[in-house]
Amino acid sequence: MTHTIVDLADAFNKLPTLLRHTLNRDVTCEKIAPFTIPDAQPSVTATYESNEGDVLAVCVCDLEFAANSGGALSMIPLGGVKESITAKKLDSSLADNFQEILNIFGSLFAAEGIPHVKLGRVYFSQRERPENVAKLISAPAARKDMKVSTSGYGAGRVSFFACARELKVGSPV
């Protein structure tokens, strides 16, 4: 029987509250159909790993989500955020802020009976993704996609992908 180690449904449900508290502003999240970011478009990919370094989940965000939430974290003026989106590249302060948000996202996977999950690597371009991460994104055991709108900034998209693991009947999750 195939199971995922992390519970994406639970992470999906926790995300709006986590973002509201982290960004200290209104945030709305809505489930959307799975989306693909073309190779030519900027995106951010983060891996979430066990303490042993095994990739358990992956998060992929479009540039708009990364810029808007990174800007909201430290109240960077909207003009600077929009410039980054127009330039199709996160400036260093937005990238640093968004990496902190990705680090906080590790708490989305915390649950009783689940191994500790932490932020692994962050890739600011699809070309940087290693083969194992690209394979997980193309054929995940589970996936959740959402549109996130951050008050005063804007909207973007985020996807979470979970790895599978084979379990013997009666073995602990």
Domain residue extents for the chain: 2-166
User: Are residues 58 and 166 in contact, defined by beta-carbon separation less than 8 angstroms?
Assistant: no
Rg value, the chain, Cα: 16
2-166: which CATH topology? Chemotaxis protein chec (3.40.1550)
pLDDT in tens, the chain (173 residues): 456 678 888 898 999 999 999 999 999 999 999 999 988 899 999 999 988 888 999 999 999 999 999 999 999 999 999 999 999 999 999 999 999 999 999 999 888 877 789 999 999 999 899 999 999 999 999 999 999 999 999 999 999 999 876 433 333 44
User: Are residues 69 and 150 in contact, defined by beta-carbon separation less than 8 angstroms?
Assistant: yes
Q: Which two tokens stand for residue 23?
A: 């960004």
Whether the full predicted model's pTM is greater than 0.75, yes or no, is: yes
